[in-house]
Amino acid sequence: MTDNAWAYTGSTFERTVESIDATHKRTRPHRPQTNGKAERFIKTLLAEWAYGRLYRTNPERLDALPDWVTYYNTARTHTALGGITPMEALLNNLHGNHN
């Protein structure tokens, strides 16, 4: 999820997103609440994955990313979700509370 900055609209960015089999979601314009979620994720990503431990090389850091994303979505609880994981919120979203 990104904001609508020009850096996220180019063909290079789109190819990169496709190369990791991801979907690019954009925040709604003039919605700081949603943009705050993206910024909070980036802050967490930097603290827990990118600089959370010492990597000898950038490829080593990149190799660790898929496991960290799996951890983030399936094992790491989130305060904003009431102390459950995103996967639990997705699977248990019977009332549509977590969008």
Cβ contact 72:86 at 8 Å: yes
Separation CA 38–CA 26 (nearest Å): 9
20 — pLDDT class (breaks 50, 70, 90): confident
Domain residue limits, the chain: 1-52, 57-99
pLDDT of residue 85: 93
pLDDT of residue 97: 62
pLDDT score of 37 more than 90: no
Q: How far is CA 16 from CA 1, 10, 23, 83, in A?
A: 14, 10, 10, 32
Radius of gyration of the chain (CA): 15
Output the pTM of the full model: 0.66
Return mean pLDDT, the chain. Answer: 87
- Tokens 């009332």 found at: 95
